[in-house]
Chains A and B, each alone.
Chain A
């Protein structure tokens, strides 16, 4: 599919408080990783750094491109010779140094509601999609998978939490990004909405996309093939086996 990701040595401090000291991990195309951690551990900070919202104090974020049969854009890698005649993995750009490229390869869904409440779903989507693309996506693309066509004319302020979350994802995937970063995607949603979103993420992942999410929800972990616990500013790989008690202990730092 489209791309791999390599993240090395990301650091971030707010004033004197070090939130992230050394964040390093990598992900392959079609993988899904969950970042777990207690409140204030720095999950949202890490995701927002990867999304280009916040600036890291150090580290790198490389994306390696692959031949793209699905049409997903990997513009961040173009200058390194990627194309039909050069299909192998190639060296990418450090996106932390060139954050302007991030929107082309990464879709970000923040924890809160990133929508204009006074406007309808259609108006919110039109901010990111041109009219033809939007119609196409609603008919057969990601927006159809998310079921957004069912509430296109509804103002956001009248939508349920699940609708808003799906619409947020719809806005985030406008550029067909190879990476989707979600901050607590299933918080405060009912089971049906959660299942809808998970179904979409599963499809997205199976098509070769990379999903990285911060979550507190054990059910989200069933979707993931990698789990990390963020403690003390460092990511610790962790294997979830369905034991919720063990997960709680891990979050408290009693076992790794």
Chain B
């Protein structure tokens, strides 16, 4: 026991020697990530502000109802903030579409309105979009159809009825003025819809906002890849030292535990360094998460302890990978490949809801999946027992495997 304690203390001394370099590396990473994130966010916000989908409309727009409907969508509807409808000749529209200046081209066939008025269904509006714009096309088509069909099919009956009534009463001179008034009233009714469309948001995980989901993913990805920053502890690792320790009575179990605790210290230091930056960002309002808005760094600090068990589990995983790999270079490559692979499968880069069911289940089963469930539950303030169990089970598995590998190497 005395020797184990001495060994653990020696490992702590090693970790302490490496700490300054480690902290410096973390600061550099935080600084680079912070600057990149700020630039991306600023650029993204500007781009989002200026983005309007430009759609070319070609064909027979001579009908007053259609023309009015398009003008209404373009000038009065909420969709005008997102969609710009441009009337242009067909050849010019095709050329602009090919150059990428138009997101889509909508062709209105000749006699469309008459066909609709007479109840025929032989004229179709064709909508041409690039492959990536199909979703937008569906949305735009839905909107145009909604406005046009309401104006044309529903209001037409009322207008004709009113015109017949006025003519029957001998008030023919009022027909034009009353038709315009009724048209405006109908258009007002159609365009008073609350929004451009209802957007269905996929579930990101137990009701987290997109921002909090990605925040958890980013912090976990940092932890998952922190083995790259902490590899200094393994640079001089060699079999002779393990053999010597075993010969001096320090077996694989005590070796691994002593080294793991020192490694965990390094990983935790890295986490706390990053959290200093994040805490500063939250306190100053540079980082915004809807769930934590207006509360400064307090919710983030409350969330921080939930990261410790995950950190311990990831440290065990990284320690195992370094133990399995033959040499420091292989160890670093293994960390990188496993970290990115597991992070991707468990939804650190994209919400896992985008993945097929089987892939989502697999990603959830992985240690990274257990970690993300734990962290998300921690962010919401209540961690279920199943999440605790999964995280500690994975940690125990990785430590046990490390001990087995260490034993195997000195067998």
Looking at chain A's contact residues, the main secondary structure is loop
Query: What B residues does A52 contact at CB under 8 A?
Result: 246-247
Q: How far is the CA of A113 from the CA of B246 in the complex (A)?
A: 14
Size range of the chain B interface in the assembly: 20 to 34
Cβ-neighbour of B247 out of A102, A117, A126, A127 (below 8 A): A102
Chain B residues with Cβ below 8 Å from A171 are 244, 248
Considering residues A53, A55, A117, A126, which has the most beta carbons from chain B within 10 angstroms of its beta carbon?
A: A53
Neighbouring B residues of A55 by C-beta, 8 Å: 411
Closest residue on chain A to residue B237 by CB atoms: A117
Q: Is the CB of B17 within 8 A of A110?
A: no
Q: Which of A111, A113, A128 contacts B248 (CB 8 A)?
A: A128
Bound Cα distance A168, B243 (Å) = 12
| Interface check B239, CB cutoff 8 A | yes
Q: Is the CB of B238 within 8 A of A119?
A: no
Contact yes or no, B244 A119, CB < 8 A: no
Q: Does A206 contact B (CB under 8 A)?
A: no
Q: Does B41 contact A (CB under 8 A)?
A: no
A110 contacts B18, C-beta separation under 8 Å: no
List B contacts of A53 (CB < 8 A): 243, 246-247, 410
**A222 vs chain B, min Cβ distance (A):** 26
- The answer to whether B247 touches A123, judged by C-beta atoms less than 8 angstroms apart, is no
Find residues 102-122 in chain A having any chain B CB closer than 8 Å to their own CB. 102-103, 106, 108-119
Given A54-B410, A102-B247, A114 and B240 contact (CB-CB distance below 8 Å): yes
Closest chain A residue to B6, Cβ basis: A127
In contact, B13 and A111 (Cβ under 8 angstroms) = no
User: A114: nearest residue on chain B (CB-CB)?
Assistant: B244
Residues in chain B near residue A103, CB distance under 8 A = 247-249
65-118 of chain A: CB within 8 A of chain B: 100, 102-103, 106, 108-118
* 8 Å CB interface, B222-268 against A: 235-236, 238-241, 243-249
Expressed in whole angstroms, the Cα–Cα distance for A114 and B238 within the complex equals 8
Residues of A within 8 Å of B411, CB to CB, are 54-55
A108 touches B247 (CB 8 A): yes
- B10, A51: Cβ atoms closer than 8 Å: no
**A106: which B residues are within 8 A, CB to CB?**
247
Contact (A110, B248) CB under 8 Å given A119-B10, A119-B17: no
Q: Is A100 within 8 A of B10, CB to CB? A: no
> Which residue among B3, B9, B241, B246 has the maximum number of chain A CB atoms within 10 Å of its CB?
B246
| A111 vs B247: C-alpha distance when bound (angstroms) | 13
Q: Is B14 among interface residues, defined by CB-CB distance under 8 A? A: yes
Main secondary structure of the interface of B (DSSP, over half): helix
Bound: A53/B167 CA distance, A = 111
Report chain A residues within 8 Å CB of B235: 117
Residues of A within 8 A of B245 (CB): 114
Say if the beta carbon of B196 comes within 8 Å of chain A: no
Q: Which partner residue on chain B sits nearest A112 by CB separation? A: B240
Q: Could you say which of A48, A116, A126 contacts B241, with CB atoms under 8 Å apart?
A: A116
Q: Of residues A111, A113, A116, A127, which shows the largest number of chain B Cβ atoms within 10 Å of its Cβ?
A: A127
CB pair A110–B244 under 8 Å, yes or no, is yes
What is the CA–CA distance of A112 and B246 in the complex, to the nearest angstrom? Answer: 14
B81 at the interface (CB under 8 A from A): no
Which B residues touch A117, using CB under 8 A? 235-236
A241 to B249, CA, bound (A): 38
A157 at the interface (CB under 8 A from B): yes
Closest Cβ–Cβ distance, residue B407 to chain A (whole Å): 10
A174–B7 alpha-carbon span in the complex (Å): 15
Does the CB pair A128–B239 fall under 8 Å?
no
Q: Is the beta-carbon distance between B17 and A48 smaller than 8 angstroms?
A: no
Q: Which of B3, B244, B410 has the most CB of A within 10 A?
A: B244
Across-interface contacts of A102 in B (CB, < 8 A): 247, 249
Q: List 23 A-B contacts (CB under 8 A).
A: A48-B243, A51-B246, A53-B246, A53-B247, A54-B411, A55-B411, A103-B249, A108-B243, A109-B244, A110-B247, A111-B240, A112-B238, A113-B240, A114-B241, A115-B241, A118-B13, A123-B10, A123-B13, A126-B10, A127-B9, A128-B248, A171-B248, A172-B247
Q: Which 10 A-B pairs have the closest CB atoms?
A: A112-B240, A114-B244, A117-B236, A108-B247, A51-B247, A103-B249, A110-B240, A127-B10, A118-B17, A53-B243
List the interface of chain B (C-beta within 8 A of A): 3, 6-7, 9-10, 13-14, 17-18, 235-236, 238-241, 243-249, 410-411
